Structure 1
Amino acid sequence: MDARAWDERYAAAKLVWSREPNQFVATELADLTPGTAVDLAAGKGRNAIWLASRGWSATAVDFSQVALDKGARLAGELDVTWVCADATTWHPQAPVDLVVVAYLQVPADDRRRAVRCAFTMLRPGGTLLLVAHDSTNLAEGTGGPQDPSVLMTAEDVLADLEGLEVEVLRAERVAREVRSADEHGGEERRTAWDCLVRVVRG
């Protein structure tokens, strides 16, 4: 899917996803001391906005200008810089303290390029947090992309970082509850499976 398709998708909907940060982003990063952060493939920047609200100087990077413009309106006066660029190749001018990659679902070669690029943005001691739809979600979970070529496991992401000075804090499959209306007007709860990788640059 190209930038134009994502522009159209964001233009058609008021909010494509929740305004709140991803639950794993909020849980994993709540205790970090604020510094400089990059939200890659940010969409409307919900994670960047959350980080900025907690004192971070955040940069949201996405190739959809429509999404970034919506995010900028949501962010108001918060400290977020909006950059329209390819999240698999973009690089900041100076090292940062944190990079978040949430649900960048691309084929393996693109993912590897994005993950390694994200990691090399970090200063020594900086944190990379990646959350994505897990490969097992296709058969065992609900929702998410139905193309197995854009799904991944924590092991895949760690393999992408091979040869770099990586301290692994967490790398595993995690459950995410998804709620939807059932046919009787009630609420149905299902489980989606994500992979979560949190590493620190040595």
Structure 2
Amino acid sequence: MDAEAWNERYRASELVWSAGPNQFVETELSGLPPGRALDLACGEGRNAIWLARQGWQVTAVDFAQAGLDKGRMLAEALDVAWVRADATTWRGDASYDVCLVAYLQLAAAERGAAVSNAYDSVRTGGTFLWVSHDLSNISEGVGGPTDPAVLMTAEDVLTDLGGRAFEVQQAGRVARLVADGHREDSADTAWDCLVRLVRRD
């Protein structure tokens, strides 16, 4: 989907995504001392807002202005800078303590650009966190994209980083329970790709 398609989607409902943070973002980043954080492809800003509430100074980047506008409204007086830019072309300044990318589903070449841009924005010793729908979800899980071209594995994300130096803290697929929307007592499993790295160079 291009930026205008996402603008239309964001305008069509109050919130496309939940107001709270992604469960893996919350779990993986809760223990870190607040500093500067980048949420690349932030959508409506749910993860950026959660980080700001934990005391982080956040830059939230997305190419859909409607999503940024919603995030800005929800963030109120929190310390979030909202930036309209494409994750495949935006460049950071290697000064962020954390960069997260959550559910940015792109074909290989575009994904590689976004992964590189995100990682290169992190300072040495900083944390890179990537969460997305895993390739295995299309056959083994529920929900998410049905086009395998925009799905990936943790190994794909690591390969996108080429010869960069990093410490792998986690890289693999993780299970996420998803309510089926029909019965409150039922849930199904979605499979996500999770990569958490510390930059070493």
When the two structures are superposed, what TM-score results if normalisation uses the length of structure 2?
0.97
Q: Paired residue for 2:148?
A: 148
Distance in 2, matches of 1:186 and 1:122, equals 40
Q: Is contact 1:181–1:187 with CA below 8 Å preserved after alignment?
A: no
Which residue is equivalent to 1:71?
71
* C-alpha distance in structure 2 between counterparts of 1:117 and 1:10, whole Å: 25
Aligned to 1:191: 189
Which 5+ residue runs of structure 1 have no aligned equivalent?
A: none
Q: What is the rounded CA distance, in whole Å, between the counterparts of 1:181 and 1:161 in structure 2?
A: 37
Spell out the pairing of 1:167-178 with structure 2 (5 A cutoff): 167-178=167-178
Question: What is the CA distance between 1:180 and its match in structure 2?
Answer: 2.3
CA contact (8 A) 1:24 1:131 kept: yes
C-alpha separation in 2, matches of 1:40 and 1:119: 10
Kindly report the root-mean-square deviation, in angstroms, between the aligned alpha carbons of the 2 structures: 1.0
Asked whether 1:17 is paired with 2:6, we answer no
Q: Report the Cα distance in structure 1 between the residues aligned to 2:93 and 2:136, rounded to whole angstroms.
A: 37
Q: Which deviations, in whole Å up to 9, do the C-alpha atoms of 1:100-128 show, x marking residues without a partner?
A: 00000000000011101111111100100
Closer, same or farther in 2 for the Cα pair 1:17/1:68, shift >3 Å?
A: same
Query: Which residue of structure 2 lines up, in the alignment, with residue 52 of structure 1?
Result: 52
**How many correspondences in the alignment?**
200
Task: Report the TM-score, using the length of structure 1 for normalisation.
Answer: 0.96
Letter in 2 for 1:91: R
**Are the structure 2 counterparts of residues 139 and 94 from structure 1 closer, same or farther at C-alpha, using a change threshold of 3 Å?**
closer
CA gap of 1:170–1:76, structure 2 versus 1, over 3 A, is same
* Alignment partner, residue 83 of structure 2: 83
Runs of 4 or more consecutive aligned structure 1 residues displaced over 2 Å after TM superposition: 185-188
- 2: CA distance, partners of 1:157 / 1:76: 34
